[in-house]
Each structure stands twice: as C-alpha cells, then as structure tokens.
A and B are shown apart, each in its own frame.
Chain A
C-alpha cells in the first residue's frame, strides 16, 4: 500500500495531487529517490528501485537517476540487484558513458564458479546496448561458447543476435561461434543457437549439413520454443537438399482449372520420362518421422510448425495427418483460431480432401467473433464440392439470417463463389440470391446485387427477368455500389430489356446530381450504351446527362463525359475511333472469376507472418523451390574419428548417461545406420573438448552443489566456505583476457569517471622503498647469453615518461672477454593492450663492466608476461618479464577514515578475506609491515590501529586496499579489497605466502 501511495505521489497519478507536483521540477522529485538509493539500508534502496521500475513500466522517464542507480549494481541484495539490471538494460543505450561503470561487475560475474551467475552476467552484459563494449561482448561470448555448462552456452547463443544487432560487422566472428555451438549436442543449446543462426546468417545453410541428423534426433527433447525455430529452419533446409516427393504424383486436384491441369500433366509426363522412380532420401524420411509426434504438442506454435513442414515437405499421401491436429487448435483462443484458419484456408485450396472429413468443425457458432466467422466461411467455401454443397448451402441459409451484417455480406459472397465453382448449383444459388433482393436489410440486398451481377455475366440470356427485377430495385436501393452494379447490368444487357432500359436512364438523369461518383460514372456508361443501341429514344437524354456531367465537380466524371461525347456523337471532325464505338462499348466481356483471396498464398511459408499478411515481412526467408536434382547427400555424413571408435567402455557408459534421459529416440534405430550413428558421432565430433564434454552431465551436477553453497556464501561470510571458493578461483587461469581487454579499451573514459564519482584522494607519489633489498630476477643467464647476463628488478619508482607503466630496472653485466655492442630491445610480442617503453640503446658494453637502464612496461594490470627480443650486434635473445602481482600497483596516500570509507564501498565480490597463522618471526608489527610491503608495492596508512595498506593499480588506477588484523597466538585475518577481483585473489595468495613463510 505504501508503495502504491508513493507511486501515485511521485508521478501525479492522482489528479488532485498533480498541481503541487507540477511546481516541483522532476529533479526535485527524484531527489528523495536518490537519497534512498544512497542510503545504507537495503530496504530503502529496494523501495526506491521498486518505485523507479514502476515508473519505467508506465513509460515515465527515469534516466536522470542513472548515476545513482548504477552505483548499486554490486549491491548484495538480490532483488535490488535484479531491479538495477532491469534499469540498466533499459537506459544504458541513452547513457553510454555511465553504463560503462557497471561493466566490470559483469565481467567479474563471467568468471564466477557458479554457472548460473556466469550465465546471468553474460545475459545482462550482452543486453547493454553500448557500442564501445562490443569487443568485450565478443570475447565474453566466445569464452562462454566453450563453457562447460550447457546453460552458459545457451546464454551465449542468446547473446549472439544481441551483439549482431548492435554491430553487424561482427558477423564473421559470430558465425564462427554459431558454427561451434551448432555442433553442441545438448538439447538446451540447440533451440537457442538455431534462433541465432536464423537471425545472423540464415543463408549459410551449409553450416547445417553436419548437424542435420543430430538436430532431427534431438528435436523432441528441445524446449517448445526452440522446436518451433528448428522446425521452420529445417523446412527451408529440406527444400534445398531433397527432391520433391510429389514429383511423380499428379498434384492437380479437380478444382484446379482444366488448362492448368493439362499443362501440369504435360510437364509431369516429361518428368516421368526423364527421371528414374523417386526414392525418398533417408534423411528426408528422418525429418518427417521425428517431427510427427510433435503434432501432439500442447503448444499451438509447435503444431503449426509441424503442419507447415508436412504441407511443404511430405508426400501427398502423408499430409493428411496434420488436419486432425489443426482442427484441434480450433478449440483454442480466438487469436490462435484466427491464425490457424488463415493457414487452413490456404491449405484447403491445394489439398481439399484433407479437411473434408472435418467439415462440421468449421461450422460457425453464434459466439464466434466476426473475423473468425468470415475465415470459417472462406474455408467452407473452399471445401465445397458437388457432394457436400447442399449441406453447406443449408448452413449458409441460416447464416444469412444472422444479426451480424458484415458476416451476412460475407456469406452472400461465399454463396456467389460456390455458385461459380460448382455449375450444378448455380441456378439454386441465383434463385436464393434473388429472394434476398426482397430482404428488408439494405446491406443484404446491396451485397446480393453485386454478387448477382457477377453471376449473371456468366449466362445473361436466360435471366432477363432477373435483370428486370433488379431494374425495379433502383427506386429503393441506396447503396452506391449496388446502384452502380444494377446500372452496369442494364447497360450491358440493354438488348434483353429494351423497354425498361431507357426508362431507367430517364429516372437516373433526374437524380444525376445527387448520386455518388461511381453511380454517376455508370449512368454515363448506361447513357452511352443506350445511345449506341437505341439512339432514337435516348439521344436527348444522353445529351442531357453528358451536359450535366460536363460541369460536375469531379474531374474523372468531366473527363469521362468529354471522352464519351467525342466517341459516340458524330461530328465532322470525329475521328476513326467513333466508327468502332459500338464495338468498344458493347464488346463481350469475360465473366469475372470469383476466387479465394487465399489462392497462391502458399508461396509464402505457411505459419509465417508474411503468409498471414500476404506480404513479405522484414527478415522473411523465401522458401526455395525443390531442386531439380538432389545435392550430394553425403555432406550430412559425420565422420567418426578413429579414436572414438576404439574409446574405452567406460567412455561409452558415460555417454549413455549423458544422453538426454528423456529422449525417446533411444530404442529406435535411424533410417539407415548412419542416422543412428549420427548422435554418437555428434558427441564424438567435438574431439577437442570431447572428454570434457562427455562428462558434462555429471560435472554440471557437481557444480550445482557448488553453486548452492556459493550462493550462500554471498550472504554468510564463513571463512571456511570462503576458502573453498577462493581455492577454486585460484585454480582458474590467472589472468582472464577479457579483463585485460577492457582496461585498454575503456581506459580514458573509465579513468575520468572513476575520478568523477569516487573522488580519490590526490596522491602524492610517495614511494616507500622497503628496507629489504629489491628482489632481482634473471632475464638472461650468463651461459645462454654467451657471457652477457641480464638481471632485472622492479624499482618501484614511478616511471616518469608514462605514469601508467611499471618501471623495470635492467642490469647488464658483460662477463665475456669481448665487448658487447648496441644492446637494444626489438620485436616485442605483447598481449593486446600491453605497451613497452624501451630503454635507450647501449652502444658499447666493455668486457667485465656492468650497466643499468630503466624501461617501462604497461602490463595492463595483468600478470601476463611481456615477451621481447634483446639484441646485441651479433645475436638476438628471446626474453620475457613476468611481474608478480604486487608490482602491478603503486602506493597512494590515504588517511584512516578514507581507507575505511573506500573499504566500505568495495564489499561483496570485491572483498576477499583469509584467516592465517602468522609465522613466529613476523608477529611483530614491524615485521608484518615489512613483509607486506615487500610482497606488494603498497604504502601503509599512517596512524592506523590495524595494519592497513593502500595502493592503486598502475594501469587502471583501481584501488587496492589490504588490511591485516592480528589476534592472539599469531592468528590473523587478511582482507584485500580490490575492484579487480583477479588481482585481489592473486594478491591475497602472495601476501599470505609472505606472512606465513
């Protein structure tokens, strides 16, 4: 209730409170929200986030809260976090720079041991539509695509279209990922990756070959939404790869026009001569067989997808099975009915026999909405033939009495179509329609007139009485279309009603000025025709009508009048055409063909949006025609690598267990052996990660357990459990590439903002060189260096040319007998983002001498080695410098209060705590400080009660805070807070080692 009240309050939901609010600017209103977000209480934050989300839901702009909200991205409360994600995804596109602040949180999430956290991190990261992070997304997707957990791989598949829509230039890279994921053999991934395939590269049908059989076999176990996408894609695939199963069978039904039929027969006859008897490809059969059970799905979209697959791919004799399932969908919601009926209407034109047994299911119920009624009429009309027309017409008679006038009009048109299609009932229909002419409802009469007009055109001679009857109607009927139709009829067949026609023209001439435009045009037409056939009686009338028309407001009518006058009234200058006037006006006109609007709609893939609209929708993939000759079927064969064949029994066993346990395809063998082996080979084909993959079933269970405990750890900070977690992280690869990438790409923006939002105390670059000697490392041994030995150490001095570089002091000692010349660095092979500032070339180093130089290396806050070549005038040596994590930072000055404050902001995932027992020698305060400062380049926070150290990473300037709390008996607790979790973890390890040994 409280929430509700606030909602109303803040957005002027209640009109009475609107006025005072309008006086306040929006920022004022949001100030209280900002305050709540900044508070320490989760409940207040949650309250604020709920109100903000409610604002978003109602379409109110909440973008000015962005900085306040994003700060909470690492909040511990799950609901707050989720709502922040919702906000972030919504507004990131508008606030690109600020959105970058949140990225590191997700990057950290990507490395989480829990698969669900990895997945959700990737999900949110990829939803942030900020172009600058495209490379990070790309990396994250690539990594996730080879994740152990199928759920993470699924999320990776979901992320692909997101990235593609953000930056279509990544297409090639994404296709590689798709290709990899398509080979995945878990049901969880299949649907999502095919969806990605359809959005990114639907034209790359070649990627499907190897996975075709596997997809067919997995299909039944894929979740329902994935099934729809896969089936639609496989329909297209099959159209390109297999032969038309109906090519030897006459597809022409009795309803197809004779001419067409003849043509078809001709082509078929030649086809039969040319082709050998058709044998269905076993893969084609596999698809049909594996999709059939899905007709029983509860999901209408799946049923429709299978139905269209059968319609487009199955031999004629087998298509019938879908009718029952489609009829079943007619009992679903009216929107489902609407779509299904559209498709049934198209199918019923081509395959009428299929739906005939279900004729009664298409009878109209009084409770149906009009649009459903009209579609059902369409289907009924398509299904009508000589045998059932009487029952259908009886139904139609009932429909005509309905209250729903649109529906009645549609029924009358349907009757007209039945009458044109089925010769036997034409007279019955015509009589029925004529009876309707005396109906009291004008709309019914008008519609009947229009339909009768079309019917009469087929055989006017026998029906002059109907024409007479209709002529009388002109006195009463007002609907313009109907009046126009009657006038046209009288004009066209004026010879059949020679007495009435001039009289009608006389009446019309009287009312000419008040008529609608289409009626006026027909009056002119009628006048012209009568003038040509019966000029004695109508000459003056025609002149009169043409004169009226000459001054009409509508230019079409004026044009027509001028044109007709020139054509029919003989003058001196009348051209050659007027001789043919009679032929022009009274030529025999072909009768209109009343045909279904659904005719030929099946060139669109059924069930698609384009089919429904009868227009190509964006992104629609054309359903290709069957190929003339089948492409090589062997492309779908999957080779079985030798080693899987002779894999141990144990492995087989594992594989069995891994098979989708719900799969029903087990007992059943494929169409040939190859299909059966497809699932096996698919599992083997991922030879690279094969062993890892095949065990994924059991592994994921394991990680499930872990994930449960891991999530608890977020809340409870029990050291013991934590230890387990940390150890797990340690086991991972030391420096994740993506972290590195980010640091370089976003560095400038990132840094600026860092300062903006978290004003760091301006640090006096004050270097505390630990009293102990600097540890030196060997770069080049005397023996390999042929007398030249090189050592290096991290001087811990700021590297003046570039503050983002770590200074490395290099000492050359020439112990050879001859002098070394021109020592310099060459050909640095660096990880992306890393930079080197070379030392100036040493021209001569005499024998027995030692010289020191300083070079700068930007390690991008990672412990990856910097590789380069050290050259002398004669030789080149490959060397590498790998920094301990403690050297990647530089000390900063901080007061104790500042330290506490910063530490408070780096909680949660950013904090790592470890319990330890101090070694005997270093229980004194001084010893601890010395060991810590030796291990890491940090400075002690002065006057601190505890031993606290502060620093920041050299490249990105992220804070590194270390505190050691000593307890009795040498027990101590080490806490490291660092935004970069990887650095934090490694630092803990190093300091721990320093303190315990």
Chain B
C-alpha cells in the first residue's frame, strides 16, 4: 500500500515527507521531476510513473503535487482517491491548502497523516473522527495554546472509531436544531460556432449542513425521483431503501457534508440560458484582427445571470489586444495569450459586449482557427433540471 508521501511545490522543492514503512530516499522523486520536465503543462504530468523499484502516484491540487510512493500492486484509484481525501482534510482544517498553510501547521499535518494511514492502509479518513483526535487550529485556540501550553491533540479518545456510524460523533447537542440543504446544479455544454449545442449535461449535488441533537434518523423524499438518472451517495445513505422506495434515509454526519450527487437524464432538452454572438476575424497580410463578443440571456425564467466570466485562449500569433468592454473588466496576458473578461451581472436591457482589435505578429501567417471561448456563469434560485 502507500509507502511514503512527498509534497512537492510548483518550483520542484520537496517541502514535506512522511514515511509509513521503512524510509524511502527522496531521490525517488527525481523520476517525478523528470516527468514533470517532459510535461508541457503542470496538469500533464502522468498520475502514475513507474520507476525501477517503486511506482509514483501523484495528484495535483492547489499547485502542490502530492506524490505517493508505492512498492507493489495496489489499485491506482485507491491511492488517488486517498490523496484527494488528504487534500480535502487539509482544506477542512486550515481553510486553504497552500504550501504556506502546510508549512505553518507542519505538526498538525504530520499528526493527521499519522492517523489517516497505518502501515500504508487508510485507518481514519472521516473528518469527524479526525477532528475528535486532532482539533483543527483556530486563531483563538492558537492564542490559548501559547498561553496555557495546552495542545491540539484531543484529550478524549476517539470513540467514533468504534461506532457503527463512524461519520457521526456521539453526544452532539444543539440548542437550535437546524438542517440546511443546498441544491447546486451544474450544466456542462459544448456549443459549436454556429450556436448549436453539441452536448450538454446536467449534474447536481445536494450539500447539507445538519446541526441536530443526538442521533437523528432523517428521510428525504423527492417529488420526481425519476428525474435522477444516476446518483452517488454519502456512505450514510441506506442503499436498499433508495432502491426500493426512492427515499433517502440516513443518519447524517454532524456539520457540513455532501449528501448526494446526481445526474439528470434529459439528454437533449437542456436549454442553455445564455448565448454569445461572436465575430473574430484575422485578415491575411495585415497585422490586425477584429474581435467582437456580445452576450445575452436566453430562457432564464426571469432569473438574472450573475458572476459571468469569459476566458479564451487566443492563438499564439496575437501580440496584444486593444478591446473595449461595455461593462466589467478584461485582462489579456501576452505571455500565456489568455484573455479573460469578468462581466459580472447581465442586464437584459443593455447587453454587455467586448469590441476592439488585436495586433498580430508582423509577417506571421493568419491563425487558422478561431479560439475557443469558455463562459462561466451563475443563476441563483433556479433549477436547470426544472
């Protein structure tokens, strides 16, 4: 199973190492650095790298590579999933998972890693159990600790590890019992240049924040469960009940968690609530190109489009842009050739647009393809699945 873990930052320094079995020299990471050099982009480093004696499985999150060293056969997803769980835990503990945060909390990080794996096999990965063992550092607690000399390590023993519902602490008490459920639906679509939808998918998640006393057993039923095409659950949900009655029955963890994620089965009926009119041309021979974008809402059921963000990777030949947004701010990075335009809210009366010219490299031939435009947006209080 997992032999060792190395944390590597974007400049290629190993800033943390942890071994669960005998020590593996950090020179094993040289193979990783080689692969990193070969890859053009940071995310193109292959997740699995074989070396003569070990296998390196790595995950890139927050510009940190988490490199696990494996010595023998193990399902790669097992390791990858675990590494992501580690990152999630760090994020949960420190708010952010950056190199600085890890370095500042190196002892807590080490204690966490020690508890999460035993001899390379996952032992406690539920955040509830971990928080009982090692309390997350907060400003208040840091101050108190410096004064009183007390510790971050939990005083009581993690009884949660023994329970049949390991995700829930025992003896939870609240004066106000409340439970919140957020339904977030995302639409992923590819649209060709004439505006027709090539593929569009809706996925959703239900995130819950449950603050209830004792051991509550909840059920949640849906008006139209047939709409949910494919679901995956938090381990607390009883599978059989869902299969038989299409009812979610569960004992919730305490605090925030993702109850389920689902996929909506309406393959071709997805209406994209936004449209983009574009006119991007490069003229042969001249060193100028025209750039024009207009956005507009479409079938939003009266809800406003918010936090609209447009980004586009312009061709290499573009030297600079001279554009004029009707609202929001735009930014062009001449090194990476990445254009981004933060539009903000769309007002249906006055459609936002971005117009102007691009200067091209003199003498270079005209780029043969128009750039891809990525658009991100949010609509509050609206469910795409209907």
A residues adjacent to B (C-beta < 8 A): 2, 4, 42-43, 46, 50, 53-54, 56-59, 77-79, 82-83, 85-86, 90, 93, 114-117, 123, 126-127, 129, 149-151, 155, 158-159, 161-162, 165, 187-188, 192, 195, 220-221, 223-225, 228, 232, 293-294, 296-301, 303-305, 324-325, 327-328, 331, 333-336, 338-340, 360-361, 363, 365-367, 369-371, 395, 398, 401-403, 406, 439-440, 607-610, 612-613, 615, 617-621, 660-662, 664-665, 667-668, 700, 704, 707-708, 711, 715
In the complex with contacts A46-B149, A116-B158, A300-B81, A664-B241 CB distance below 8 A: yes
With A and B bound together, what is the CA distance between A304 and B78 in angstroms?
Answer: 9
Known: A129-B22, A369-B44. 11 other contacts (CB 8 A): A78-B151, A161-B121, A228-B75, A293-B240, A294-B239, A297-B235, A335-B58, A361-B201, A370-B44, A440-B365, A618-B71
Least distance between A421 CB and chain B CB atoms (Å): 23
Q: Would you call B81 and A336 a contact (CB within 8 A)? A: yes
A300 touches B151 (CB 8 A): no
Instruction: Specify the chain B residue showing the minimal Cβ separation from A618.
Output: B72
Instruction: Assess A403 versus B313: contact at CB under 8 Å? Given A57-B106, A328-B263.
Output: yes
**A-B pairs with beta carbons under 8 Å apart, 19 shown:** A77-B151, A116-B159, A127-B119, A158-B121, A161-B121, A298-B235, A300-B81, A301-B77, A304-B75, A304-B77, A328-B230, A333-B80, A363-B190, A440-B365, A608-B75, A617-B50, A619-B71, A662-B164, A711-B155
Q: How far does the Cβ of B171 sit from chain A's closest Cβ, in whole Å? A: 10
- Contacts A338-B47, A609-B48, A610-B73 given: A59-B107 contact, CB under 8 Å? no
B50 touches A297 (CB 8 A): no
B18-47 contacts to A (CB < 8 Å): 18-19, 21-23, 26, 40-41, 43-44, 46-47
Whether the Cβ atoms of B16 and A617 lie closer than 8 Å is no
The answer to whether B158 and A79 touch across the interface, beta carbons within 8 angstroms, is no
Contact of A335 among B59, B114, B240, B241 (CB under 8 A): B59
Indicate if the CB atoms of A298 and B22 lie closer than 8 Å: no
Q: Is the CB of A296 within 8 A of B80?
A: no
How far does the alpha carbon of A464 sit from the alpha carbon of B315 in the complex, in Å?
36
Nearest B residue to A308 via CB reads: B75
Question: Which among B271-279, B297-305, B368-376 touches the partner chain?
Answer: B368-376
Residues from chain A with Cβ under 8 Å of B153 in the complex: 78-79, 82
Within the complex, the shortest CB–CB distance from B221 to chain A, in Å, comes to 17
Distance A53 CA – B156 CA, assembled complex (angstroms) = 23
Partner of A59, one of B17, B78, B235: B17
Minimal Cβ-Cβ distance residue in A for B186:
A331
Select from chain B the residue with minimum beta-carbon distance to A441: B368
Given contacts A59-B26, A192-B121, contact A366 B75 (CB under 8 A): no
Enumerate chain A residues within 8 angstroms of B18, measured Cβ to Cβ. 57
Query: Does B178 count as interface, using CB distance less than 8 angstroms?
Result: no
Q: B156, A298: Cβ atoms under 8 Å?
A: no
Could you tell me if B374 and A366 are in contact, using CB atoms closer than 8 angstroms? yes
Beta-carbon contact of B190 and A365 below 8 Å:
yes
Shortest CB distance A706–B (Å): 11
| B255-280 interface bits toward A, Cβ cutoff 8 Å, 1 = contact, 0 = none | 00010010100000000000000000
A-B contact count (CB 8 A): 251
Which B residues lie within 8 Å of A195 (CB)? 1, 121
Chain B residues, CB < 8 A from A77: 151
5 nearest A-B pairs in the assembled complex, by CB-CB distance: A619-B72, A664-B240, A43-B149, A401-B369, A79-B151
A363 pairs with B17, CB closer than 8 A: no
**Contacts A4-B104, A293-B243, A298-B258 known; A59 to B372 CB distance under 8 Å?**
no
A151 x B161 contact (CB < 8 A): yes
When distances are taken between beta carbons in the complex, the residues of chain A under 8 Å from B82 are 225, 301
**Residue in B17, B106, B198 whose Cβ sees the most chain A Cβ within 10 Å:** B106
CB pair A609–B119 under 8 Å, yes or no, is no
Instruction: Give the residue of A82, A188, A232 whose beta carbon is less than 8 angstroms from that of B111.
Output: A82
Identity of the chain B residue whose Cβ is nearest the Cβ of A660 in the assembled complex: B164
B residues near A151, Cβ cutoff 8 Å:
161-162
CA distance A371 to B78 in the complex (A): 20
Check A158–B123 contact: CB distance below 8 A.
yes
**Taking the nearest CB of chain B, how far is it from the CB of A447, in angstroms?**
16
Contact of B22 with A366 in the complex, beta carbons under 8 Å: no
Whose C-beta in chain B lies nearest to the C-beta of A49?
Answer: B107
Please name the residue on chain B nearest to A439 by beta carbon.
Answer: B368
Q: How far is the CA of A158 from the CA of B44 in the complex (A)?
A: 36
* A700-B43 contact, Cβ under 8 Å, with A54-B107, A335-B80: no
A-binding residues in B (CB < 8 A): 1, 14-19, 21-23, 26, 40-41, 43-44, 46-48, 50, 55, 58-61, 70-78, 80-82, 84, 104, 106-107, 109-111, 114, 118-119, 121-123, 125, 146, 149, 151-153, 155-159, 161-162, 164-166, 188, 190, 192, 198-199, 201, 203, 229-235, 238-243, 258, 261, 263, 313, 315-316, 365, 368-369, 372, 374
Distance of A665 Cα from B240 Cα, bound (Å): 8
Does the CB pair B75–A617 fall under 8 Å? no
| Selected contact of B162 from candidates A56, A607, A700, CB within 8 Å | A700
- Of the candidates B40, B76, B152, which one forms a contact with A79 in the assembled complex, judged by CB atoms under 8 Å apart? B152
What is the distance, in angstroms, from B319's C-beta to the closest C-beta of chain A? Answer: 16
CB-contact partner of A617 in B73, B77, B146, B238, under 8 A:
B73
Q: Is B59 touching A333 in the complex (CB atoms < 8 A)?
A: yes
Interchain CB contact (< 8 A) of A301 among B75, B198, B229 = B75
Q: How far is the CA of A80 from the CA of B30 in the complex (A)?
A: 34
Residue of B114, B201, B316 contacting most chain A CB atoms (<10 Å): B114
Q: Note all chain A residues with C-beta closer than 8 A to B1.
A: 195
Q: Which residue of B lies closest to A3 (CB)?
A: B107
| B157 engages A114 (CB within 8 Å) | yes
Interface centre among A220, A335, A665 (most CB of B within 10 A): A335
Residue among B19, B59, B190 facing the most chain A CB atoms (10 A cut-off): B190
Partner of A298, one of B23, B104, B198, B261: B261
By a CB distance below 8 angstroms, the chain B residues around A192 are 121
Residues of B within 8 A of A339 (CB): 47-48, 76-77, 80
Q: A46-B149, A192-B121, A609-B73 are known contacts. Are A615 and B50 too (CB-CB below 8 A)?
A: yes
Q: Is the CB of A619 within 8 A of B47?
A: no
Say yes or no: A224 contacts B76, CB within 8 Å: no
Q: Which of B46, B84, B157 contacts A333 (CB 8 A)?
A: B84
* A621 to B73 Cα, complex, angstroms: 8
Contacts of A57 in B (CB 8 A): 16-18, 106, 109-110
A49 to chain B, nearest CB (A): 8
**A55: min CB distance to chain B, Å:** 10
CA distance A363 to B58 in the complex (A): 25
Contact residue among A116, A335, A715 (Cβ-Cβ distance under 8 Å from B157): A116
Bound form: Cα–Cα A187–B22 in Å: 29
Residues of chain B contacted by A114 (CB below 8 angstroms): 157
Give the nearest-CB partner of B103 in chain A: A4
Given A93-B22, A293-B243, A360-B199, are A403 and B316 neighbors across the interface (CB < 8 Å)? Answer: yes
CB distance from B236 to the nearest CB of A (A): 9
Given the contacts A301-B81, A401-B369, A664 and B125 also touching, CB distance less than 8 Å: no
Contacts of A700 in B (CB 8 A): 162
CB pair B73 A298 closer than 8 Å: no
Please give me the residue from chain B that is nearest to A80 by CB atom.
B151
Residues of A within 8 A of B121 (CB): 158, 161, 192, 195, 225
Known A129-B22, A335-B47; contact A704-B159, beta-carbon cutoff 8 A: yes
A297 and B232 contacting across the interface, CB-CB below 8 Å: yes
Residues of B within 8 A of A129 (CB): 21-22
Given A57-B17, A298-B258, do A708 and B157 touch, yes or no (CB 8 Å)? Answer: yes
- A228 contact set on B, CB distance < 8 A: 75, 78
Q: Is the CB of B72 within 8 A of A58?
A: no
Closest-by-CB residue of A relative to B61 is A333
Residue ID in chain B nearest A13 by CB atoms: B103
* B107: contacting residue among A2, A50, A127, A667, CB under 8 A: A50
Q: How far is the CB of A46 from chain B (nearest CB, A)?
A: 7
CA distance A654 to B296 in the complex (A): 66
Q: State A660–B165 Cα separation when bound (angstroms).
A: 10
Looking across the interface, which residue of chain A has its beta carbon closest to that of B123? A158
